[in-house]
Chain A
Amino acid sequence: MVNKSVLVLGGGIAGVASSLRLAVNGFKVYLVEREPTIGGAALFFCCKATEACNQCSVCLVPEKIAEVKAQPQISLLTNSQVAEISGQVGDFSVRLIQRPRFVDPEKCTACGVCAELCPSQPNKAIYLPSPQALPYAYAIDKNNCLHFNGVECNICSQECPFGAIDFDRSPEKIELSVDAIIIATGFDVFNAKEKGCLGYGRYTNVLTGLDLERKFSTQGSITLPSSGKAPQNVAFIQCVGSRDVHIGNGYCSQICCKYAMRFAKLLQYQHPETKITIFYMDLQTAGKGFGEFYQQCKETIRFVRGIPVEISEISPDELEVKYEDFIEGKVAKEIFDLVILSVGITPRKDSSNIARILGINLGEWGFFDTQDHLDSTETNVEGIFVAGTCHGPKDIPESIAHGAQAASKVIQTLAARGI
């Protein structure tokens, strides 16, 4: 066992990968997560297998979470955020604020009695963040909870068979001292409403890739929001919020071409008669095995080069998509019953705040910058490293590899300094 400790900020798949790599090498890890569970964005995504696995990698997330659970070297600090950091490599002092969960994860067995009784409408205030959550325990959402909104409700705390609920908790300060820090705070999904002309939020049957992930992972399939029927004619629009300098996102998000094609195949697997069109600029088909998958996609999916600029709703089931038809050399209009906007990855809204607390630099588009473009984990502050999508777009396997790389750089840096 080595006598060194590391703070990993952000419990998405990248932070998890960093923590695991450090822990197996004997390091003490404090894994700090803002939400009530680790796992990050991809915890809520769906398996995109058809008759064969299509290698979307989403199943790696529960796999890695299970490894964290079995790893005594990792201390989980959920509901927590960093308030202040001082010191230097080998001797950082960190002050965290842990918001109360109001449910003691040590006592909660996730029996679910509380949620059944919770009277809050339409959303229950006490919930299990995910069936794969870690800690595997319920949490209370203060915004929905009657108790915290002027009503005298104590039902859950009275009825919990394990006495796990306690409303009288206030935020706690936690002080840690660590040798190094890895930042893995992840990304925000592009807000499709910023592209007003595509009608997201206004037209019922315009959804985003994120909506698809959620719907498939909770319901296992997708229907038209307007009528509940199976979609017949679906359009995917690529690069929504990516590759667009005008909105400050002059980069490719790297994930949306792949998830769009996998979703398209999945849709056709469930409804073989569904017609699918993908509107794109350039298809990102590199990566082991993906070229072969793309060749299969071409057999049943129509690919049209060009990004539509406008969608109008003729009726809830009829969306008119206007695009430039290069083949005919004119503007074309076509009707679809469902349009999916392939939204991409953007920097976290609060990344400048984190950058200020830690004294690290932001790059051109607002992701955390690294020193040398070819060492992609070291920041300008010695002993502080970045991992995963907070450094720029990456898919799940790349976020895992980057997380492990950051961990290995921590081990090397501390060894070189004799810490």
Chain B
Amino acid sequence: MDEVKIGVFICNCGDTISKSVDLLDIRARLEKLADVALVSIGHDLCSPQAQQAIRKDIIDNGINRVVIAACSPQLYGDALANLVEKAGLNRHLLSVANIREQCSWVHPDKDKATKKAMVQIRMAVDKVRLQDVVEQAEVEVYKDVLVIGGGIVGMEVAIELSNLNLRTTLIEKEANLGGRLKQFAALYPLQVTPEEMLTSRLKQVTGSENIDALTSAGLKDLSGEVGNFTAKIRKGNEEISRNFGAIILATGYETLFLDKVYGFELGDNIITQSQLEGMLKSPGEIKKIPQSVGFVFDICDEHSRISTPSTLRNALVIKERFGSEVYVLCRNLQVDGAGLEKLYQDVRNKGVIFFKFERFPKVLRENGKINIQVEDLSMAREQVMLSCDLLVVEEKVVPHQDFATLESMLNIGLGPRDFYQEDNVHLYPTSSTKSGIFFAGNCHQDLDLGRALTDASNAASEAYQLISSGKMRVEVERVVVDPDKCALCLTCLRFCPHDAIRIDYEKKTAHILDLACQGCGICAAVCPAKAIKFKDWSDDQILAELEVV
């Protein structure tokens, strides 16, 4: 190996670093360290001018290892690596010390902060000395997307992708597209009917050359990784095999009635919201017009986004169609959606009466009537007895019955309330833990339709961004398994959250899929045989860092 020449570039970050860290003192001490060929302090290293200067410094001084001491690498890590690359070095010959968030911003005492920053920078210096080159390569990826679930959200995803000129295969397990929306009598906001929404989208799906919609179809098997998935799709007796660059799950949810939670059973004029939808949709089913109807929710699913809009609009439909007395009993109305407060006011003005309870009301069946005893909070907690011909209860939102098979086929996990779990709800709200697999709509969050469509659009454009060029850049063998040490214990396989590890039984070793690996480091940490090495976070590098502390 050539002589190691380390360049250290320190940012004062508009004085927010230099205010509490003595950079001149640090420079003087760093200059004495072995292999350190250059130490430079600059303003705002993220600015184009400063970056130009660093590049020049690297080239002019023959620097072959770079340390940058600045803000969190979360913010500019990529940009800094690009900079090093532009100066002709491999992007992994860089180590970043975060002396802003982890030091100057949080330690007002200048002496102590300076001491700590010095330690942080020395750690980076000792680490970068041992870092290895990781090459990048460009691989071809398929520009086709598989969309699973042909509800309104799955259709929207396919349409948007088609508008963006990507081909999609849309698979729906039922005989018809449309999902839950097919069952609804009305929708909020009330300006559009479910039929109108579905018809307009169906027309676009069937009219698009980019969309191949397969109904009565399901996923049978999936292999490969991002950019290059192979899916076996079963349609009737047929089995179709296709390649995809990305997959979007839009499998929605099912609803269940939980009699254990309610303490009573369905039947005898107690029905679920879904059953009511069906009745309102085909009026023939209504044998006798109910004189009085009660709605109750917030019992098995207190934080649902769906109970409020569906109750409000159905209350309105009943009031307008039959003129019945209508009562709504709940804890909280979830009116935080477009137009919902307005709908609530309209429903109240039409004469629907609301009871907000703290304690669950008692429901008694008597002579074909349903009596509900509820505390009226607006009347000093007086017990009120309501009598209804029909009681409509909320259902719990649950994952699809075949959820478990999809989950294991795709190797993705479930989060709170059993929705699919995103990688990071905040930063990547539509990404799964597995690269190239995205979520859209109600399979990963409890959403009303407006929000679900926004989500659909986001999932589509994330997938587009990932594969539309037909190529992906990948780090080649950044993480490697030493076949001599690997004991095939499969620990790494079980721990990898991104499903990036495969076993090669012929060579008797685990190996890591470069495209799928997200560099989290868990495998290297759990491997009992210490067979897994990160080229830029190897054990010897970390030990070298620890030596400094």
Q: Which residues of A contact B (CB under 8 A)?
A: 21, 24-25, 55, 57, 60, 62-63, 66, 69-70, 109-112, 128, 131, 136, 243, 245, 250-252, 254, 257, 282-292, 294, 305, 326-330, 364, 372-376, 392-393, 397-398, 401-402, 404-405, 407-409, 411-412, 415-416
Contact = CB atoms under 8 A, between A and B. Distances in A.
Interface string B371-397: 000000111110000000000000000
A59 to B, nearest CB: 8
Contacts of B449: 374
Interface stretch (B220-228, B248-256, B331-339, B400-408): B331-339
Interface in B144-200: 160, 163-165, 189, 191-192, 197
A364 to B, nearest CB: 7
B335 A282 contact: yes
B134 interface: no
A326 B380 contact: yes
Contacts of A364: 342
A66 B450 contact: no
Contact of A327 (B160, B381, B464): B381
Given A63-B427, A405-B457, A412-B164, A376 B43 contact: no
Given A111-B15, A397-B429, A401-B454, A291 B417 contact: yes
Given A288-B425, A289-B416, A326-B380, A282 B458 contact: no
A301 to B, nearest CB: 15
Contact of B192 (A243, A294, A373): A373
B32 to A, nearest CB: 28
Contact of A401 (B74, B336, B338, B429): B429
Contact of A329 (B74, B303, B380, B458): B380
Contacts of B415: 288
Contacts of B43: 109, 111
11 contacts: A63-B74, A63-B427, A110-B44, A111-B15, A250-B341, A250-B342, A286-B303, A289-B425, A291-B303, A372-B191, A397-B426
Contact of A373 (B304, B339, B454): B339
Interface residues of B, number: 64
B308 to A, nearest CB: 9
B495 interface: no
A415 B164 contact: yes
B416 A109 contact: no
Contacts of B336: 252, 254, 257, 284, 286, 393
Contacts of B378: 326
B134 to A, nearest CB: 21
A329 B376 CA distance: 11
Nearest to A395: B336
B342 A251 contact: yes
Contacts of B455: 401
A393 B340 CA distance: 12
Given A305-B356, A327-B380, A408-B457, A60 B332 contact: no
B461 A404 contact: yes
Contacts of B458: 401, 404-405, 408
Contact of B303 (A24, A243, A285): A285
A254 B342 CA distance: 14
Contacts of B342: 250-251, 364
Given A373-B338, A398-B451, A415 B163 contact: yes
Contacts of B339: 251, 373
Nearest to B82: A70
A252 B335 contact: yes
Nearest to A57: B426
A328 B382 CA distance: 10
Contact of A376 (B79, B334, B338): B338
A286 B380 contact: no
A408 B345 CA distance: 34
A250 B345 contact: yes
B16 interface: yes
B381 to A, nearest CB: 6
B445 interface: yes
A283 B332 contact: yes
Contact of A286 (B334, B427, B454, B457): B334
9 shortest interchain CB distances as A-B pairs: A329-B380, A291-B303, A110-B14, A412-B163, A254-B336, A408-B461, A284-B336, A405-B457, A282-B332
Nearest to A400: B429
Given A136-B44, A252-B341, A305 B377 contact: yes
A254 to B, nearest CB: 4
Nearest to B305: A286
